[in-house]
Amino acid sequence: MSDVLYFNGRFTTTDERVLGVEDRGFLFGDAVYEVFKFLSKQPVFFRDHWRRLARNLDAIEIRNPWTEPSFIEAMRALLERTAFADGIVYIQVSRGEGPRAHFYPDDMVPTTIAYSRAFKFPDAAKKERGVQLITTVDRRWKHCDVKSVNLLANALAKKEAQRAGADEALLVDEGAVREGASSNFFAVRGGRVITHPLDEHILPGVTRDHTITVARNAGIPLDEGIVREHELGSLEEAFISSTTLGVMPVVKIDDRPIGGGVRGPLTAQLQRLFDEAEAHAVGF
């Protein structure tokens, strides 16, 4: 079954080929994207995703095709047309279409797409079992805080992890652990949770932000700081976070068990707290 596709203000399906060959998102990666989760056709943390999309468009000076009310209207209409209850919505806005040139006019009309896709989210067994990571060199561009479609380095890192029998790649830059190829990273050391501070080296994750909030509200010690690669083997616990995974335990890094190779107690507590927060954040 084809997925529902929103394209420049109209609805079709993903069977229709809609992008022109000179769209700047296709030619230059001149675009940003956003992904939100929905349950029972209702979005999760919706306004956080809208704010991040708007912030990223502004960061690379692409005109926002929506206001917040028109974005809500478009996404509500997309979900109403969707045939399944649970999944994700992928959104992409490029600078637009025009003759291929590095210079571009200031008045370009953005190309906007959004489509829904069924997704199997982790069940309780997966949330307990956790995932394995490998470390690899961070080869991304220098504005990782922008959720751009320039994901070649991320994709190559994910493929490296897959070939090693792992689930995710942990990106390391001159000894500093940054984040996963498609997730944020958290470490537990000395009973404290540590995650990379918000700067140009990591993406401001919606799940990351809510995990930090629930941790602090629960009185769990949490620092935003740098974890070094040589410290990974001595961690008590570790986990990653993303829209599709939620809070996910890390049980091995580079074939070395973390915390005995099982989910740790702080990770389990944060999973429960995050899941409760997510359940209260469903809807427009």
Q: What is the mean pLDDT of residues 222-251?
A: 98
Task: Dump pLDDT digits (tens) for 140-162.
Answer: 999 999 999 999 999 999 999 99
- In this predicted structure, the answer to whether residue 129 has a pLDDT above a threshold of 70 is yes
Domain topology for 124-279: D-amino Acid Aminotransferase; Chain A, domain 2 (3.20.10)
pLDDT value, residue 246: 98
pLDDT value, residue 54: 98
Six-digit token string for 279: 């359940």
Yes or no: say if 261 and 233 are a contact pair by the CB < 8 Å rule: no
Six-digit token string for 27: 């030619």
Domain topology for 4-118: D-amino Acid Aminotransferase; Chain A, domain 1 (3.30.470)
Strand partners, 13: 4
Phi, then psi, of 149 in degrees rounded to 5: -85, 5
Q: Comparing C-alpha atoms, which of 135, 146, 112, 152 is closest to residue 25?
A: 112
Rg of the Cα atoms in the chain: 19
Task: Dump pLDDT digits (tens) for 41-96.
Answer: 999 999 999 999 999 999 999 999 999 999 999 999 999 999 999 999 999 999 99
pLDDT value, residue 1: 56
3-state class (DSSP) for residue 32: strand
- In this predicted structure, the answer to whether residue 24 has a pLDDT above a threshold of 90 is yes
Q: What is the mean pLDDT of residues 258-272?
A: 97
- In this predicted structure, the answer to whether residue 201 has a pLDDT above a threshold of 60 is yes
pLDDT value, residue 11: 97
Residue 30 binned pLDDT confidence (cut-offs 50, 70, 90): very high
Percent of the chain with pLDDT over 90: 99
Domains of the chain, residue spans: 4-118, 124-279
The angle at the Cα of 128, spanning 138 to 254, to the nearest 5 degrees, equals 30
pTM (two decimals): 0.96
pLDDT value, residue 2: 74
Phi-psi region of 251 (alpha: psi -120 to 50; beta: other; left: phi over 0): alpha
Arithmetic mean of pLDDT over the chain: 97
Where does 141-214 show beta strands of DSSP type E? Answer: 168-173, 176-180, 184-189, 192-195
3-state class (DSSP) for residue 256: strand
pLDDT value, residue 213: 98
DSSP label at residue 64: P
Which residues belong to the active site?
147
pLDDT value, residue 186: 98
3-state class (DSSP) for residue 243: coil
Biggest CA-to-CA distance, the chain: 57
Residue 219 binned pLDDT confidence (cut-offs 50, 70, 90): very high
pLDDT value, residue 138: 98
CA 213/CA 238 separation, integer angstroms: 18
Q: CA dihedral defined by 44, 48, 49, 55, rounded to 10 degrees?
A: 180
- In this predicted structure, the answer to whether residue 241 has a pLDDT above a threshold of 70 is yes
- Residue 45 amino acid letter: F
Yes or no: say if 111 and 149 are a contact pair by the CB < 8 Å rule: no
